Amino acid sequence: MANTYTQILYHIVFSTKGRSPVLNPDRREELFRYIWGIHQGLQCHLYRINGMEDHLHILTSLHPSLSLADYMRELKTGTSRWISKEGIFPGFTGWQDGYGAFTVSMREKDAVIRYIKDQQIHHQQTDYLDEYGHLLEEAKIQYDDQYTAG
């Protein structure tokens, strides 16, 4: 893809099926390393990943030939297979349909990296649904409450 230049950062948020709290912190780093490997294979750049028992946050840029939908399909399918094969998160039945993807400017990059890094601190005060609703509202995305209700 000679002469193709892009600078599109995505802050991606997605949850476990039914928002089940199954992503045990003791094994989460293994999942993060596996996701980093998926990024390498797809020629994407992973800036930061973190999450809680029921959801993940990723800051990434995609290879110009890869659509966001294809990236998410590869990521969710690959990690679901790996989690099932390795058995590292008992009770994991898959990822919830859909995701939130928000573009981030280069000026915002470091703040978003800090935000993702500090998930454990952030979630002492707010739960996933409140956080997700806030991200959607901040991005001025209209959404159906049935997908963010508890």
pLDDT in tens, 38-94: 999 999 999 999 999 999 999 999 999 999 999 999 999 999 999 999 999 999 999
Count of CB atoms situated within 10 Å of the CB of 48: 18
Looking at the DSSP bridge assignments, the partners of residue 10 are 60, 103
The full set of domain ranges for the chain reads: 9-147
Q: What homologous superfamily is domain 9-147 in, according to CATH?
A: Transposase IS200-like (3.30.70.1290)
Question: How much is the pTM?
Answer: 0.90
pLDDT in tens, 99-140: 999 999 999 999 999 999 998 887 888 888 788 888 888 888
User: What's the CA gap between 110 and 4, in Å, rounded?
Assistant: 25
DSSP for 9-71?
Answer: EEEEEEEBGGG-----HHHHHHHHHHHHHHHHHHT-EEEEEEE-SSEEEEEEE--TT--HHHH
